[in-house]
Amino acid sequence: MATPVAAERRPRPFNDLREYLSVVREMGHLKLVEGADGELEIGALTGMIGARRDCPVLLFDAIKGYPRGVRLLTNMLNNAERQKVIHGCPPEVGEAEAARWWNTEVKKFRPLPPVFVNDAPVKQNVKEGKDVNLKMFPWARWHEKDGGGYMCATSTVTRDPASGYINVGSYRFKFIDETTCVGHMASGHHGDIISKQYWKQGKACPVAISLGQEPSILIAAGDNAAWGHCEYDYAGWLRGAPVEVTKGVYTDLPIPATAEAVLEGEIVPPKAGVAIEGPFGEMGGYYGDASPSSLIKIHAVLYRDDPIIMGSPPFPNTARNLFGARGLRVRSELEALGIPGIKGVRYGGGIVVLSVEQSFPGHAMRAALGALGGTGGYHTRFVILVDEDVNPHDLNEVFEAMGSRCDPGTSLDINRRIWSSRVDPRLEPEKAKKGDYTASCAIIDATRPYHWKEHFPEKVGISPELRRAMEEKWKELLGG
């Protein structure tokens, strides 16, 4: 596996989403679209254009049924160049090197807490009580069989009632009426856990839903941080400056001061009211089912002049995570468990690949079980173990290791009752009806067996010494 490229990170503390879009415009990556309909057209265009590797950011204006100036933004993150800008990645770092570069950089993470401000652009306009009307924003129906209009690129703020811990998660919300929506917070996610703590006390859970924010906040909100670790702290480090927050007018929750729009209200206990959430086109590429979800009563709407609402709907072949953020989350969890020798992690598409330098019997399996016990266990079908000489991000190398180092009779293990959710397309309907959101996962050990790895046949290859000699002698032939 190649040595990580050495290049200093150059974070960009964008003041708000608008400043980021000005940079995107300078890059030639911004496309203005006028006159599209939020009933399927915006979703279809987002999916079709988002599948292109060079896809631009789409900024929809003059949306059918809405005044000019109420805008909707899509395809913000699914492009390598834009991801590099947001992460402070120097241009000389190539796409193939980006994940390894980020793996080195993220080890330098230190929490950078937010700072409170009173002068907040998000408070330019405030609607409360009877003046609240959620129809003022475009709730797009992204996929043809979605159950209604959705907001699906939010940074949603809740507070744990016991510890005061602030969670910022990225959840989707479906429009119900002028003052009501419902959300999907998957079982086991922190927003779900916090809501239930309030409900146990017979209370509604205060919530603030940001609908458009500077990109580091959205990335942090989707990062699956460990319990008790505030996503604002990670966003601050990512952008190179503290996130500015302000107190909400209804909830007192810390909301992004430069957000485009924020909905404030409360998630009521299920016994106080539910509505159907779903179906919705999920991340795995299938439609999730419809099920009852607690009502969210909105009591205040804060927004800037000419707001820009963000949308990030799941579509096949559009999610491109250049830096492997979730894989890095798995790696940090394994290191926190004291498991040594983790050389690389790939996490995506229901498959986790762990590159492990084994130093004791059972080392690789310990890493696999550690991954399943944390973030790596969520919606995971396979954990594939490979040696340190295999790049987990190069599937050709991974498949070669599986074909040459894995013995199916002795190298496969099945683990049952692993963390999943109701949107898992392989979840049996009867289990889903009972609320049993668990599944099985196979561990494929494609490492050299530790107890006889010294006797494992040597790989054919060109040694570094011979390679250097050939590059020096045959420079012109080799294109050096």
The answer, yes or no, to whether residue 4 has pLDDT greater than 60, is no
6's torsion region: left (phi>0), alpha (psi -120 to 50) or beta?
beta
User: Where are the strands (E) in 447-479, listed by range?
Assistant: none
Q: Compute the distance between CA of residue 296 and CA of residue 183 in angstroms, rounded to an integer.
A: 8
Q: How far apart are CA 252 and CA 170, in angstroms?
A: 19
Average pLDDT (451-478) is 91
State the angle between helix axes of 95-106 and 325-336 in degrees (0 to 180), rounded to the nearest 10: 30
pLDDT digits (tens, 9 = 90+) for 403-412: 999 999 999 9
CATH H-level superfamily of 1-321:
Electron Transport, Fmn-binding Protein; Chain A (2.30.110.10)
Give the number of residues written for the chain. Answer: 480
The pLDDT of 250-274, averaged and rounded, is 97
% of residues, the chain, pLDDT over 70: 97
Query: Over 80: is that where the pLDDT of 323 sits?
Result: no
Q: State the Cα–Cα distance between residues 268 and 202, nearest whole angstrom.
A: 9
**CA–CA separation, 121 and 16 (whole Å):** 10
Strand, coil or helix: what is 468?
A: helix
Q: What is the pLDDT of residue 403?
A: 95
Q: Per mean pLDDT, which range of 230-234, 288-292, 424-428 is the poorest?
A: 424-428
Fold assignment, 325-455: UbiD C-terminal domain-like (3.40.1670)
- For the chain, the structural domain boundaries read 1-321, 325-455
pLDDT above 90 covers what percent of the chain?
68
Residue 375: the pLDDT is 75
For the entire predicted model, the pTM comes to 0.82
Structure tokens at 29: 């990556």
Band (pLDDT 50/70/90 cuts) for residue 100 is: confident
